[in-house]
Structure 1
Amino acid sequence: MHRGHRTLLLTATASYAVVAAGVLTTSPLVRLDWHVAMFKPYKQWPCAQGPLDVFVVAGQRGPTAVAALAWLGWRSWRTGSARPVLVLGTALALLNASVGAVKLGAGRLGPHYAHTVGSAELFHDGMIFPSGHTANGVVVWGTLAYLAGRHRRAARVAAGLMAFGIGLATVYLGTHWVSDVLGGWAAGALVLLSLPLLEPFVAAAERRLGRFGRFGQGGGGGQDGRGGQDGRGGRLGGPDRLGARSPPARRPRPCPTRSVSR
């Protein structure tokens, strides 16, 4: 892990800890939460509510995970490598474990279900901190950028804009506090920055799935075993697929004999 990576990882960890501490201690961050929630942006600018209701689906775990897995599964089949699917699966598993544990521990209620003005609304069996939409947007779109072959810089910019927009959209819609979104950004960044450290485990899993790699090689080409295909689509060890018979073998001509005169 190089110095820049280590610095980013420590920064994300510290940011996550600061946001969590701010929520737990009912700091000015919680007062900001209430100020924005009572401002009700969705009532101030109601025309944006419809489009943003659709846009936040880009951060919803189910649709985004299915779409990303479908795309990366196709890439794995084309390249003969299970790594893209394994990397995304690892990222989603780490996201669910880390964010889910904090959600269960905090038990925070969202702005629409808050009881006491000025309270952090913790330990009420809620599931709002950190923002799952935001963290999922960071992880899914960030993982796609992490796996991008060409145009990686553009993919990173697009992933950052998507994650930023999803977080702000949840605040606008009143489904999350500002601190939820800040925690979601930090939680998602921690998962992304942990992916390079988990590459040895991904490589080990890919080696165990060696048969998957052979199946995907060449876009579903040659198979091993009896009746496999050669590179031209014909059957190995049998007649060609059109059923044409092989030409009859030619008999060797007899050698001419010479008569010996006595």
Structure 2
Amino acid sequence: MRTERSLTRLERVFARLDREPQRPAHIDVPSMSRHRVALFLATLGFYAAIVWAVLITSWLVRLDWQLMFFRPYQQWPQVHAYIDYYVVLGQRGPTAVMVAAWLGWRSWRQRTLRPMLALGVSLLLLNATVGAAKYGMGRLGPHYATEIGSNEMWLGGDIFPSGHTANAVVTWGILAYLASTPRARRWLSALSAVISLGVGLSTVYIGTHWLSDVLLGWAAGLLILLALPWFEPLIARAEAWILSLRDRVRGRTAAAPAPAAPQAPAAPPVPAPTLHEPAAGPAPRGPVEPAPRGAAGEPAVARDGSVVPRSVRPPLHHLAPPGPHPARSERSPAAPGGSRRPPHSDRAPRGSATSRPLTGG
């Protein structure tokens, strides 16, 4: 009896990667339900409460100063090197590249642009909202504080809310937002919460942010994730427009004829030269007048009234000089050195009366 070998987990992963990409029949798109609206309003209230507590220099600001004087990086210096690397998980550049690579692969496998478009919309909202709040409130960080116990607001800073914390919430939370199954969404939500919490506390440990900055950063990132379903119709329209544009470009490329290979220009036909030999008999003594030519397309008429066909051309007598032909003896030698034939003293010149003696008689 033959039994098939069960595949290992790694083999199953590679077998799934080798499958042809296909667009899923149904993609679960989160909607703005009542539960999500309630969470959004609650988070928005928490955001406003943090800002108000800092503006009025409440107990939250006193807690910020106590943590700053505690100096956690001096209390536990042995973990400082690890914290420096862990904080990178909240930097916008490296995390955006990593998450975009994963979502780009998902877009290719599922034949949809929604993951990449959702990431782009979330990052745009993050830059617009968090950047505006940072420069609008202008709070200075712990290393640049000027007065003990003050809230350090409106002094030209850019740390309130914490950009590292908000970026970690949005960048890693978008993976949970785009999860395909409820189970994956739960696990990814817990993972993104732990990562963003660790990044926020790491900035407090290093001393680059107040604790209130981290709390406001968590609220700012969560507001963006909760508001994403409102932008789903815009994402769907953008995806449809991009796909239709791609189809039009492909159609034009397929309909365009292929360019023909360049051919060498054909050489014009060279007419064969026609030589007209003069008639037998003595050459004319005087100059020979060429036959008259008529207009284009009409036969020429000679002086005696006869019609000369167009194809008949005069002989090439113009190549020879006019007048009587000189005798052979009067012509110039063929070469400067004279005749090439060696002279013979015993040979009589041609045309003389003396004849050669007959032998044998």
Query: What TM-score bracket applies, with the shorter chain setting the length?
Result: 0.7 to 0.9
User: Per the alignment, in what secondary structure is the counterpart of residue 226 of structure 1?
Assistant: helix
2:143 maps to 1:112: yes
Matches of 1:153 and 1:213, distance apart in 2: 35
Matches of 2:245 and 2:191, distance apart in 1: 31
Structure of higher RCO (CA pairs closer than 8 Å, 6+ residues apart):
1
Instruction: Identify the residue that residue 64 of structure 2 maps to in structure 1.
Output: 33
2:94 maps to 1:63: yes
Instruction: Identify the residue that residue 209 of structure 1 maps to in structure 2.
Output: 242
2:204 maps to 1:171: yes
Instruction: Identify the residue that residue 45 of structure 1 maps to in structure 2.
Output: 76
Computed over aligned residues only, the root mean square deviation of the Cα atoms, in angstroms, reads: 1.9
Specify the code of the residue in structure 2 equivalent to 1:63.
P
Change (3 A) 1:213 1:81: farther
Specify the code of the residue in structure 2 equivalent to 1:3.
R
Where does structure 2 lack aligned partners over 5 or more consecutive residues? 1-31, 256-361
Specify the code of the residue in structure 2 equivalent to 1:57.
V
1:154 to 159, 168, 187: 187
Q: Tell me how far 1:153 sits from its aligned partner.
A: 1.4
Deviations 1:51-99 (A, max 9, x none): 0110010000111112211221222122211100000000000011000
Instruction: Identify the residue that residue 350 of structure 2 maps to in structure 1.
Output: none
Instruction: Identify the residue that residue 251 of structure 1 maps to in structure 2.
Output: none
Matches of 2:225 and 2:72, distance apart in 1: 30
Q: State the TM-score, normalizing by the size of structure 2.
A: 0.59
Q: Tell me how far 1:2 sits from its aligned partner.
A: 2.3
Specify the code of the residue in structure 1 equivalent to 2:93.
G
Superposed counterparts of 1:65-84, under 5 Å: 65-84=96-115
User: Per the alignment, in what secondary structure is the counterpart of residue 137 of structure 1?
Assistant: helix
Instruction: Identify the residue that residue 184 of structure 1 maps to in structure 2.
Output: 217
Q: Tell me how far 1:211 sits from its aligned partner.
A: 5.0
User: Per the alignment, in what secondary structure is the counterpart of residue 254 of structure 2?
Assistant: coil
Matches of 2:246 and 2:113, distance apart in 1: 7
Deviations 1:174-231 (A, max 9, x none): 11000000000000000000001111111111111115887xxxxxxxx76539xxxx
Change (3 A) 1:3 1:35: same
Instruction: Identify the residue that residue 254 of structure 2 maps to in structure 1.
Output: 226
Q: Tell me how far 1:3 sits from its aligned partner.
A: 2.1
2:225 maps to 1:197: no
Matches of 1:20 and 1:212, distance apart in 2: 45
CA contact (8 A) 1:82 1:213 kept: no
1:87 to 74, 94, 118: 118
Specify the code of the residue in structure 2 equivalent to 1:210.
L
Specify the code of the residue in structure 1 equivalent to 2:152.
E
Matches of 1:117 and 1:140, distance apart in 2: 35
Specify the code of the residue in structure 1 equivalent to 2:177.
Y
Deviations 1:24-76 (A, max 9, x none): 11111100000001100010011111101100100001111122112212221
Deviations 1:130-186 (A, max 9, x none): 000000000000011111224221111111111111111111111100000000000
Question: After TM superposition, where is structure 1 displaced by more than 3 Å over at least 4 residues in a row?
Answer: 211-214, 223-227
Q: State the TM-score, normalizing by the size of structure 1.
A: 0.80
Instruction: Identify the residue that residue 159 of structure 2 maps to in structure 1.
Output: 128
Matches of 2:45 and 2:68, distance apart in 1: 26
Q: Percent identity?
A: 54
User: Per the alignment, in what secondary structure is the counterpart of residue 116 of structure 1?
Assistant: coil
Structure with higher Rg: it is 2
Q: Tell me how far 1:126 sits from its aligned partner.
A: 0.7
CA contact (8 A) 1:134 1:185 kept: yes
Matches of 1:75 and 1:114, distance apart in 2: 45
Instruction: Identify the residue that residue 219 of structure 1 maps to in structure 2.
Output: none
Matches of 1:70 and 1:158, distance apart in 2: 19
Where does structure 1 lack aligned partners over 5 or more consecutive residues? 215-222, 228-262
CA contact (8 A) 1:81 1:212 kept: no
Instruction: Identify the residue that residue 241 of structure 1 maps to in structure 2.
Output: none
Change (3 A) 1:196 1:35: same
Specify the code of the residue in structure 2 equivalent to 1:120.
N
